[in-house]
A and B are shown apart, each in its own frame.
Chain A
């Protein structure tokens, strides 16, 4: 019986997505452009309220990451479905959870890239240094949790007729704890609060991510059933 080991399959799927994206730049350019435009919208809407700007920065980052991430994850999975290549992956003798983790790796990489780009853009536009270790740790964990949820629910939504609207409707309520924890933790970092004041939020992010990664590992066989 021919079986492809889990990690080898994950690596093959992630490497394929990275190679294809490196050539087409379709996803990252769409996500990046969306992110930059959103930052500009925040800048102009907050221009007349300088006192509110600093407090709005964590929300600006996570709203942008949430919508850009949803856009990217949805398009990545939709392309697999529309080209039929999802069938090609399902036909292979690989554990189905490997398909999930392969797609997740790339979704996380792209969402984290967007989070770092937005952090840089917000730092420049709002003249505030956001490139701090705590902020980056939250971006790392928050995007992992978001990508874990987005990839799992996106794989379910890909079969829906109106998947463009189905995905945000599914993802946003479920990802709310991730978004709230990320924003609160980012406030703690931005306000130079002691670590003990906000450390519970990164722990919550790690826990939620672990729960969804475990769920996906156990249940992904059923997600891809027609």
Chain B
């Protein structure tokens, strides 16, 4: 791993039964990078992000985050990760604030912050995603887009160094998508390392600085982010329909 690399993936393979999902994937990501993970459906984006999040074990190869090797040292890495998946990972019967309070406890925030500071952090997180007025409403009454906004608040409540976003725009309307654009820009400006699996190539080109393109489980391209038309052309060449 080079000195500057925060995330180092070497010859990573993942096999489900007989079907290979990832094939000899290798790359490095430096601290503070904003990387788009692109690929057609089934190309291995979610599998790769789940392995980086220590939710899934590699079949072979090595994954190192901040010097800790996964999955052996996953316990050390987890507190530094913020993860948004296809599902919001929220409890329907709890309110928005209660969900965040639960995750705050699971990330040991009551130990790090006073009660007042913790409540302020929760209110601030809800305000940032436009849900402060719905803080005391149960999540079951939220639309999909509102749940996704709350999922973003959940994933960043503990101020993680690394954000793994798997199709984070799922369910968001235009206003919500614009909000997420600005949140990602803010997080990047704060020096966080972000890997976002995206479908929208124009958005990826506008938002990110680097593109990793997966095709059929292989890392088909690793390039500085080009303009949208060139990215689309490259993507289509690597993923012929």
Contacts and interface: CB of A to CB of B under 8 A. Distances in A.
Please classify how large the interface on chain A is, using the bins under 10, 10 to 19, 20 to 34, 35 or more.
20 to 34
A92 B90 contact: no
A153 to B, nearest CB: 21
A90 B105 contact: no
Contacts of B158: 2
Interface in B45-59: 50, 53-57
A84 B50 CA distance: 13
A84 B87 contact: yes
Max chain A C-beta neighbours (<10 A), residue from B71, B106, B107: B106
Interface stretch (A8-16, A47-55, A104-112, A177-185): A8-16
A8 B104 CA distance: 11
B91 A2 contact: no
B105 A4 contact: yes
A25 to B, nearest CB: 10
Interface in A78-124: 83-85, 87-95
Please classify how large the interface on chain B is, using the bins under 10, 10 to 19, 20 to 34, 35 or more.
35 or more
Contact of A89 (B57, B79, B92, B106): B106
A4 B102 CA distance: 12
Interface string B118-150: 000000000000000000001000000000000
Nearest to A19: B94
Nearest to A13: B106
B108 A2 contact: yes
Contacts of B94: 16, 19-20
Interface in B29-86: 50, 53-57, 71, 75-76, 78-81, 83, 85-86
B55 A16 contact: no
A1 B76 contact: yes
Interface string A1-44: 11111001100110010011101100000000000000000000
B55 A90 contact: yes
Nearest to A5: B108
A55 to B, nearest CB: 42
Interface string B155-197: 0001000000000000000000000000000000000000000
Interface in A208-226: 225-226
3 nearest A-B pairs in the assembled complex, by CB-CB distance: A2-B79, A84-B87, A88-B89
19 contacts: A2-B107, A3-B79, A4-B105, A4-B106, A4-B107, A5-B108, A12-B105, A16-B91, A19-B93, A20-B93, A24-B92, A83-B90, A84-B89, A87-B55, A91-B54, A91-B55, A91-B78, A91-B83, A92-B106
Interface of A: 1-5, 8-9, 12-13, 16, 19-21, 23-24, 83-85, 87-95, 225-226
Interface of B: 50, 53-57, 71, 75-76, 78-81, 83, 85-94, 98, 102-103, 105-108, 110-111, 138, 154, 158
